[in-house]
């Protein structure tokens, strides 16, 4: 399966370079054509690839770790918390003074949200407590963002930030790519080796520990990894929801539900989904280009409804 | 030297003492049943033996060495732990669930199984008579079949110590008898088997030794005929018992409430 997914991601990446107001820009054969490729399309396609990959991977990690098929960075508030922290960095002027401030703030915000969620799930396991905690974190993050914007001296702040939070990878130049890519790649490297331990967790925390899993250090490792991935991704692209929910669902049955085996395919499917969505928003006949996050929500939210219905039997047990 | 021992083990939950300074030693090749009323600390004792909880005082020793000094992986190889009402959160294939028992030996479900792991999984499946379910998804199995797969998961580790927390709870008589036979077979292979039971009849019949826990401590410890004698368990459970002799085995039967 992975081989086919790699081919699909590669094709979508090339399409992402090709599609836009100027189709096949390299065919122009002049400086303008190559400028479009290198300064517009390559950053956009590469960010789509990386962000989709880390969102799909984060969804797979969170679902395996929390043993819950509804866990996803957007739904449970990790992205929103990262977004709030990035907004703070932006409006406090830190981001202007120090180029890494925004991704680092995003990473810290995401890490805090993951730690809060872990605490909630420890004290009362079950889908209901997880989703309610997610609702609370989302609400707090949204309220805090509004507060920061109200305090901002910039009158256009609200519009700017609303658009940015809706999720987009348009007009991000190579610089954004260079400062966030290392964090995303590092985060992915940190969690990709944890597959065996995630497999063990499917028998519950006690049994996993009896099988030699150090659940405390695993928790720290996954918090750090997901924090790096979602924090860096959100700081550059805003909130792109539901990719982390859908990607693991699409691959799970094909790997016999082994949590560790969902990681790599979820990453590839996540990358494919975001590349596809980003191509779709360019092709839709809207007055201005639809925000990528709006598009993934439009397509992804019904998917969540379906997943909740399926999980209802498990809710009763939770 | 005992396979597993606790010295002065004290366990607290909040400020309540669950176990107070108990000393016990467990031998290889024996089935030891731990019985006692609800809340007597049976599960707590087992969790300490598995190294899942840290004692408030005292120590657990594995083969004469402190358990707390062993690495998690080594501990996982030497002690297999079957949790109460063990289950899987995902509809995994039964064979994959059993293969998780090989994790402490370095197995990885995402890679092709090594020969030694595949053999151990197959042996475990045979011991629980579960080969025919091996390729089914765990959520399509009956409760009894699933419990059997969870037992196979614990056996696949091929550890020297096997801890089972109420493995027969909610099983029908056929599965319960089969489970006890599996535990006996493990002891016959030389394992140190410690099992928490609520069914005193099964304990009397299948255990080499019975430990009665009550009032934060060990109320009785010895062969079933002695540890399950009327006065001991009547005091521990606060219930009147009748003893019936069946095929030469004394079966205690809870008969009347005592207030």
* 3-class secondary structure, B258: coil
Give the pLDDT of residue A158. 77
Q: What residues of B are in contact with residue A214 (Cβ under 8 Å)?
A: 72
A291 exposure class (CB count in 10 Å sphere: 0-12, 13-18, 19+): buried
Residue A127, pLDDT above cutoff 70 = no
Span B176-225, pLDDT tens digits: 999 999 999 999 999 999 999 999 999 999 999 999 999 999 999 999 99
Q: Do A209 and B52 touch (CB under 8 A)?
A: yes
Residue B158, pLDDT above cutoff 90 = yes
Nearest to A204 among B83, B104, B109 (CB): B83
Residue B68, pLDDT above cutoff 60 = yes
Residues in B 48-87 with any Cβ partner in A closer than 8 A: 50-52, 71-77, 79-81, 83, 86-87
Q: Do A210 and B81 touch (CB under 8 A)?
A: yes
Span B84-110, pLDDT tens digits: 988 888 999 999 999 999 999 999 998
DSSP state, A37? I
Cα nearest neighbour of A194 on chain B: B108
Give the pLDDT of residue A123. 59
Half-sphere exposure at residue B147, Cβ-oriented, CA atoms within 13 angstroms: 22
CA nearest to B118, candidates B133, B132, B98: B98
Give the pLDDT of residue A216. 83
CA nearest to A42, candidates A228, A178, A188: A178
Chain centroid to CA B167: how far?
A: 7
Nearest to B88 among A196, A203, A206 (CB): A203
Cα separation, A57 vs A233, in Å, equals 12
Q: What residues of B are in contact with residue A199 (Cβ under 8 Å)?
A: 100, 103, 108-110
* 3-class secondary structure, A30: coil
Asked if A246 has any chain B CB less than 8 Å from its own CB, the reply is no
Q: In whole angstroms, how far apart are CA B232 and each of A184, B21, B24, B220, B225?
A: 63, 20, 18, 7, 11
Chain A with chain B: Cβ pairs closer than 8 A: 91
Nearest to A207 among B86, B90, B92 (CB): B86
Nearest to A211 among B71, B76, B90 (CB): B76
Give the pLDDT of residue A317. 42
pTM: 0.91
Span A28-63, pLDDT tens digits: 878 888 888 888 899 999 999 999 999 999 999 999
Nearest to A199 among B71, B72, B109 (CB): B109
Q: What residues of A are in contact with residue B157 (Cβ under 8 Å)?
A: 211
DSSP chain B: --SEEEEEEEEEETTEEEEEEEEEEE-TT-EEEEE-STTSSHHHHHHHHTTSS--SEEEEEETTEEGGGS-HHHHHHHEEEE-TT---SS--BHHHHHHGGGGGGT--TTSPPPHHHHHHHHHHHHHTT-GGGTTSBGGGS-HHHHHHHHHHHHHHT--SEEEEESTTTT--HHHHHHHHHHHHHHHHTT-EEEEE-S-HHHHHHH-SEEEEEETTEEEEEESHHHHT-HHHHHHHHTEEEEEEEETTEEEEEEEEE--
B4-257, CATH topology level: Rossmann fold (3.40.50)
CA dihedral A75, A81, A86, A92 (to 10 degrees): 150
* B9, β-bridge pairs: B22
CA nearest to A197, candidates B107, B154, B83: B107
Asked if A265 has any chain B CB less than 8 Å from its own CB, the reply is no
Edge-to-edge strands, sheet with B31-35: B79-82, B161-165, B192-196, B31-35, B209-214, B217-222
Contact yes or no for A233/A240 (Cβ under 8 A): yes
Span A252-295, pLDDT tens digits: 989 999 999 999 999 999 999 999 999 999 998 888 888 899 99
Span B23-66, pLDDT tens digits: 999 999 999 999 999 989 999 999 999 999 999 999 999 988 99
Our CA-based measurement puts residue B202 at a distance from the nearest CA of chain A, in whole angstroms, of 25
Mutate to test the interface with A, among B67, B80, B89 (most CBs of A within 10 A): B89
Residue A95, pLDDT above cutoff 80 = no
In the numeric block, the tokens 């998917």 are attached to: A303
Domain locations along chain B? 4-257
Most confident among A68-77, A218-227, A286-295, B76-85 (mean pLDDT)? B76-85
Contact yes or no for B83/A206 (Cβ under 8 A): yes
Q: Do B93 and A256 touch (CB under 8 A)?
A: yes
* B121, β-bridge pairs: none
Span A138-189, pLDDT tens digits: 999 989 988 888 887 777 777 778 777 888 888 788 888 998 999 999 999 9
Asked if B229 has any chain A CB less than 8 Å from its own CB, the reply is no
Nearest to A207 among B71, B74, B83 (CB): B83
Place A308 in a pLDDT band, splitting at 50, 70 and 90.
Answer: confident
Asked if B141 has any chain A CB less than 8 Å from its own CB, the reply is no
Percent of chain B residues past pLDDT 90, beyond the cut: 84
A149 or B229, which is more confident: B229
Q: Do B52 and A206 touch (CB under 8 A)?
A: yes
Which value does ipTM take for this structure?
0.93
Pairing of strands B161-165, B79-82: parallel
Pairing of strands B239-246, B249-257: antiparallel
What interhelical angle do A101-123 and A127-151 show, nearest 10?
Answer: 150
Cα nearest neighbour of B83 on chain A: A207
Place A82 in a pLDDT band, splitting at 50, 70 and 90.
Answer: very high
């Amino acid at each position: 399966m992975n081989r086919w997914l790699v081919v699909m991601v590669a094709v979508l990446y090339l399409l992402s370079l090709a599609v836009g107001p100027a189709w096949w820009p390299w065919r122009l054969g002049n400086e303008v054509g190559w400028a479009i490729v290198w300064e517009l399309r390559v950053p956009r396609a590469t960010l789509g690839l990386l962000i989709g990959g880390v969102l799909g991977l984060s969804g797979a990690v969170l679902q395996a770790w929390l043993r819950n098929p509804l866990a996803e960075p957007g739904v449970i508030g990790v992205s929103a918390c990262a977004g709030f922290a990035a907004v703070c960095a932006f409006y406090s002027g830190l981001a202007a003074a120090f180029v890494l401030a925004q991704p680092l703030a995003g990473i810290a915000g995401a890490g805090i949200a993951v730690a809060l969620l872990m605490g909630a799930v420890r004290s009362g396991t079950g889908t209901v407590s997880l989703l309610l905690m997610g609702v609370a974190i989302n609400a707090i993050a949204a309220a805090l963002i509004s507060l920061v914007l109200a305090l901002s001296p910039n009158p256009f702040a609200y519009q700017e930030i609303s658009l940015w939070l809706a999720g987009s990878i348009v007009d991000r130049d190579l610089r954004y790519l260079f400062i966030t890519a290392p964090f995303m790649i590092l985060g992915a490297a940190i969690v990709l080796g944890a597959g065996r331990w995630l497999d063990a967790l499917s028998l519950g925390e006690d049994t996993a520990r009896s099988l030699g899993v150090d659940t405390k250090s695993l928790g720290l490792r996954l918090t750090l990894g997901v924090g790096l991935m979602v924090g860096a991704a959100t700081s550059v692209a805003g909130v792109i929801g539901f990719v982390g929910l859908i990607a693991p669902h699409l691959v799970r049955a094909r790997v016999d539900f082994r949590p560790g085996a969902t990681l790599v395919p979820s990453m590839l499917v996540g990358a494919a989904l975001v590349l596809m969505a980003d191509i779709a928003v360019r092709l839709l006949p809207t007055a201005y280009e639809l925000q990528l996050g709006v598009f993934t929500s439009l397509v992804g939210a019904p998917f969540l409804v379906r997943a909740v219905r399926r999980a209802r039997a498990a809710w009763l047990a939770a | 030297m005992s396979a597993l021992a606790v010295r002065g083990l004290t366990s607290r939950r909040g400020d309540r003492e669950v176990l107070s300074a108990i000393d016990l030693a467990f031998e290889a090749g024996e089935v030891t049943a731990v019985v006692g009323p609800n809340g007597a600390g049976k599960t707590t004792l087992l969790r300490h033996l598995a190294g899942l909880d840290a004692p408030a005082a005292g120590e657990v020793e594995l083969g004469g060495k402190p358990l707390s000094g062993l690495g998690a992986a080594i501990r996982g190889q030497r002690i297999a732990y079957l949790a109460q009402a063990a289950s899987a959160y995902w509809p995994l294939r039964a064979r994959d669930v059993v293969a998780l028992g090989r994790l402490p030996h370095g197995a990885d479900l995402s890679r092709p199984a090594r020969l030694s792991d595949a053999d151990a999984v197959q042996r475990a499946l045979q011991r629980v008579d579960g080969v025919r379910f091996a390729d089914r998804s765990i959520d399509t199995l009956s409760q009894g079949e699933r419990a059997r797969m969870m037992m196979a998961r614990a056996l696949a580790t091929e550890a020297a110590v096997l801890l089972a927390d109420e493995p027969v709870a909610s099983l029908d008589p056929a599965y319960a008898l089969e489970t006890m036979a599996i535990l006996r077979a493990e002891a016959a292979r030389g394992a140190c088997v410690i099992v928490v039971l609520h069914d005193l009849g099964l304990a009397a019949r299948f255990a080499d030794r019975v430990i009665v826990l009550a009032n934060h401590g060990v109320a009785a410890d010895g062969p079933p005929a002695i540890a399950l004698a009327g006065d001991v368990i009547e005091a521990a459970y606060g219930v009147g018992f009748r003893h019936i002799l069946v095929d030469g085995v004394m079966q205690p039967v809870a008969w009347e409430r005592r207030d």
